[in-house]
Structure 1
Amino acid sequence: MKATSLALAASVLALSACAPGLQATPEAYAATDTVFEGWLRFSGEEFQLNARQDQVLQPLARPCLSGALPRDLQRQARQDLNGQRVRITGQNRAWSDDLPGRRIDQQGSNIRNECGAAFVILADRIVPIA
Structure 2
Amino acid sequence: MSISNGVQLITYADRLGDGSIESLNSLLNGALANLFKGVHLLPFYYPYDGEDAGFDPIDHTSVDKRLGDWGHVKKMGESVDIMADLIVNHMSAQSQQFRDVLQHGRDSKYWPLFLTKQDVFTSNDDA
Q: What TM-score range do you get, normalising by the shorter chain?
A: under 0.3
TM-score, normalised relative to structure 2: 0.27
Question: Which one has more relative contact order, counting CA pairs under 8 Å at least 6 apart?
Answer: 1
Instruction: Say which one has the larger Rg.
Output: 2
Q: Which has the higher strand share?
A: 1
TM-score, normalised relative to structure 1: 0.26
